[in-house]
Amino acid sequence: MRAAGIQGVVVLAAFRDRVLVAVRETLGVVGESGSGKWTTGRAILRLHQPTAGNVYYQGIPVNRLSSAEMKTMRRYRQMIFQDPYASLSPRLKVEGIIGEALDVHRLAGSRAERKKRVEELLDMVGLDPAFARRYPHEFSGGHRQRIGIARALAAEPKFIVCDEPLSALDVSIQAQVVKLLEELQQRLGLTYLFIAHDLSMVNGRGRCSGREGRGKGTWRLRDTRAVICEKTGVCKM
């Protein structure tokens, strides 16, 4: 991977091409299984260390940061995972799952403040604040994914990698989650890297507009550019 960064812009380059992701923009990364989109998302967050080149976030070379510097950086760059059940600890109640980020980044000064913030986040994603006292297995897939979104928002990030967040959900629930993501983007000024295996899930406007079109039962994010990953290890616009 290689990239170049400028202030105010999330910048990534997957393998051969350079791609700039502007603040409040959604960039779709689309490709079949094994094409490298999953690895790309994790390398950008430095959950995987790139073997060559650099990833920049607002001009900062992410893969050159120390562990202490990465802890601060991770607050502003979060992930929504594909599996809304496996990504939530079955041993923790919802309050513990969402509140963990508040503890790690010291964003709550007291237990009461922590509890209030967790309830605010649940309300923000359309869930009853009383759900904070329940376990993940007590919820449907759609509710669990909303909990995952609330967890990603807890640290007040600016950039979120959405790792196929719709693939495990029913079509009707997909529409609700897409609407929620778009509302949160407008409200909080978020930037998304949206990973998908199907180009129909994103608009693919600009140079990737050849396969546009809403398929039956398919839901898409509006105003989204796309990078297409191939099994050759190349991502291209």
Residue-wise pLDDT tens digits, 148-188: 999 999 999 999 999 989 888 888 888 899 899 999 999 99
Residue 84 resides in a domain: no
User: What are 103-139's pLDDT values in tens digits?
Assistant: 999 999 999 999 999 999 999 999 999 999 999 999 9
Domain boundary among the residues 141, 156, 171 is at 156
Regarding whether 163 and 237 lie in a shared domain, the answer is yes
pLDDT band for 19, please (50, 70, 90 cuts).
low
pLDDT at 18 over 70: no
Regarding whether 170 and 143 lie in a shared domain, the answer is no
Distances from the Cα of 22 to the Cαs of 9, 25, 169, 182, in angstroms?
A: 5, 5, 28, 16
Structurally, the chain folds into a number of domains equal to 2
Regarding whether 222 and 117 lie in a shared domain, the answer is no
pLDDT at 218 over 60: no
pTM: 0.81
HSE-up of residue 8 (Cα within 13 Å, Cβ side): 0
Residue 85 resides in a domain: no
Regarding whether 66 and 175 lie in a shared domain, the answer is yes
Regarding whether 213 and 138 lie in a shared domain, the answer is no
Residue 135 resides in a domain: yes
Domain boundary among the residues 102, 124, 156 is at 156
Is there a contact between 213 and 205 (Cβ–Cβ < 8 Å)? no
Full residue range of the structural domain in which residue 234 is found = 1-76+157-237
Regarding whether 172 and 70 lie in a shared domain, the answer is yes
Residue 83 resides in a domain: no
Which element (helix H / strand E) includes 79? strand 77-80
Q: How many CB atoms lie within 10 A of CB 84?
A: 25
Phi-psi region of 165 (alpha: psi -120 to 50; beta: other; left: phi over 0): alpha
Domain boundary among the residues 156, 184, 199 is at 156
Distances from the Cα of 82 to the Cαs of 9, 14, 197, in angstroms?
A: 25, 20, 12
Exposed, middle or buried, 122 (CB in 10 Å: 0-12/13-18/19+)?
buried
The rounded mean pLDDT for the chain is 80
